[in-house]
Structure 1
Amino acid sequence: MTVARSLLLFALAAIAEIGGAWLVWQGVRENRGAAWIGAGVIALGLYGFAATFQPDAHFGRILAAYGGVFVAGSLLWGMAMDGYRPDRYDIAGAAICLAGVAVIMYAPRS
């Protein structure tokens, strides 16, 4: 159950951070206005809380692992929201990052 909870928290953090950054991008770069920017700032703030609920107590480990989730999540977000189509190198890189997440977070430790 701990791994499932951790994965869910990583997914929520990715949605909040990537979604928040995308909303700010839309507000500024696509001229959608202050409401989009404000929603993005709120989402980015929620991201800041998501990591605190991870079962591991080490900030550096959580954020290092989340970096891999962010890489893969950003590609997925781009596909869903902007029509981006990753190439095989994007996919390979994301897979490597996710393998790193698994090692950092879920390798057995004594």
Structure 2
Amino acid sequence: MFKTTILFFITALAEITGCFLPWLWLRKGGSAWLLLPAALSLALFVWLLTLHPAASGRVYAAYGGVYVVTALLWLRFVDGVKLSLYDWLGATVAFCGMMIIVAGWGRA
């Protein structure tokens, strides 16, 4: 489960980066050249999702929990926004959901 969780976090970083760079271009006046690494990052995101052995729907469902945690950590450390108790509680619930789904892989 540890390797799966780490892979999910790397996948989430690739997805968030791939979406953040065009946002910088469109909303913050960044260079259009940001679209190139964004596209590469999103391609990496898609490829990383294929590395999991479970059916795609289970992978997407479990990944969603890690994505929530990663997005909130991005909010804290990249955007500099302090997280609330509700943010941490929601992240904990989402992460526990991911662990439950992954624990069931191979048992279904």
Superposed pair shares fold, TM > 0.5: yes
Q: 1:99 aligns with which of 90, 96, 102?
A: 96
| 4+ long deviations beyond 4 Å | none
| DSSP 3-state at the match of 1:25 | helix
Aligned residue for 1:30? 28
Aligned counterpart for 1:18 among listed residues 8, 11, 16:
16
Q: CA deviation at 1:42?
A: 1.5
Name the structure 2 match of 1:76: 73
1-structure distance, mates of 2:27, 2:67: 21
Partner letter of residue 37 of structure 1?
Answer: L
Please provide the CA RMSD for this pair.
1.4
Amino acid at match of 2:59: I
Q: State whether residues 24 and 38 of structure 1, in contact with CA within 8 Å, keep that contact through their aligned partners in structure 2.
A: no
Structure 1: 5+ residue stretches without partners: none
Task: Check the 8 A contact 1:23/1:37 in 2, yes or no.
Answer: yes
Identity %: 34
How many corresponding residue pairs? Answer: 107
